[in-house]
Amino acid sequence: MLSAECRVLSAVPGCRVLSAVPGCRVLCAVLSAVWFAVVAMPASAQMPDPRAMHGQAIPAGELPAGSVTVRVVRQMLGNNIGGVTVELHGAGAVRSAVTGADGRAQFAGLPPGSRVHAIASVEGERLESQQFDVLRDGGVRSILVAGLGLGSGGGGSAPAGPATALPTPPPASGELSFGDNTRFAIEFQDDTITVFYLLDLINPGSSPVAPPQPLAFDLPVEATAATKLEGGSPLVTVAGHQVSIAGPIPPGVTSVPVAFRIDRWSARHTIEQRLPLPVAQLAIGVQRLEGLTIESPQVSSVREAALSGQAFLIATGPALAAGTPLQLTLVGLPYRSPTPLIVALVVAGLVGLAGVYLSVTRPSEAATRRRQSLEARRTRGLAALAALDAERQRGAIGGTAYESRRAKLLADLERVYGELDQAAQPPDGDQGVAA
């Protein structure tokens, strides 16, 4: 079962598809930190879609434990609505707070572990958040967006108050892209680097789009165990290093969540990725390690963020054109030098070769020495037999003594020849000939 915090984090766009992945707390914390980094960017930058943010709950480590803030806006971020009564249900008696000039209603002293949700009414439109847990470590933020038809009753009301520029109309049908909520996350676990691509494929039109050619891209060459995460669109397939998205692409958002591992790296490792569609805004979260820094020509800012006691590096950048390589270099990575392993393998190989050499050469040398000894005995025996025959011819030895000594020499020579034949026998059992 997921922890209370992990359930809250699973409300973050992209975290929902990761709720079944081990390490949800760390990874979703990265994603929520990235999301807040994008939300906090200047208004001049392209802002996230308020529709995707409505009613979501995001852990906020900088808030006191047991606290919740609910921000009410009209149609877009920055168009805050003050004077709205917000109710918080689920923590005992219903609690109420009124939004200030910043559009926020504050709730404090909530029982940790309570499962709550916020309700507000703006000009007859009832707005309600998702249910989320009150945390023991830090607070929770939520946003309610009025005027976009996300609530019930009066959802189409026109903006009131100060004149504010409305969001840019969506692009024409067929202009596919990876939207604002596209994020990349990197986590270090069990001596591996795990990389997550959480891509939101956006079709802004009202009808499906069939791309002129299949949407596919190759993961980095060092990627291993690539897989599609649970919750991804059935149009997405991962085979080896290639990610494919089948058409036609339906209107709205098609989720493309992919993960892979990197098993080998050095102290400075570059991940390079090309995508077939433009990325509306670059957002990368990297788990912070001692001495680790990030380098990338596409990143315009890098900052540190802390969430639930875990430090992250949050990198953001402008839009990325289709086909432009995203290059992210991780500097100061902890790694195990292959030198000790190589030395150990070389030593083991040399010991093995020495053993083979000794097992082959030593028996061969012993056999050679034995054969040489037998050949020397044979030579001495033949010489003694010749000398004995010469003595007999000269009459220097009698017949009985001659026959006895000759029989003894012949018996000795017969044994020598037998041993020579045995020593010369090949391994396959064929009989050799001793000369």
Give percent above pLDDT 90 in the chain.
Answer: 27
Lowest mean pLDDT among 18-27, 37-46, 132-141, 407-416: 37-46
Assign 276 a pLDDT band (cuts: 50, 70, 90). very high
Give me the pLDDT at residue 95, please: 95
User: Token digits for 160?
Assistant: 């009131």
Mean pLDDT within 319-343: 77
Query: 0.75 exceeded by the pTM?
Result: no
Average pLDDT, the chain: 78
Q: Is the pLDDT of residue 435 over 60?
A: no
Lowest mean pLDDT among 46-55, 82-91, 142-151, 247-256: 46-55
Assign 297 a pLDDT band (cuts: 50, 70, 90). very high
Q: Is the pLDDT of residue 304 over 60?
A: yes
Assign 351 a pLDDT band (cuts: 50, 70, 90). confident
* pLDDT, tens digit (0-9, with 9 covering 90-100), for 107-130: 999 999 999 999 999 999 999 999
Give me the pLDDT at residue 292, please: 86
Give just the sign of the alpha carbon dihedral 266, 270, 276, 279: positive
* pLDDT, tens digit (0-9, with 9 covering 90-100), for 181-235: 889 999 887 678 899 999 999 888 778 888 888 899 999 999 999 999 988 889 9
Lowest mean pLDDT among 24-33, 211-220, 390-399: 24-33
Assign 381 a pLDDT band (cuts: 50, 70, 90). confident
* pLDDT, tens digit (0-9, with 9 covering 90-100), for 125-161: 999 999 999 998 889 999 999 988 888 875 444 444 4
Assign 244 a pLDDT band (cuts: 50, 70, 90). very high
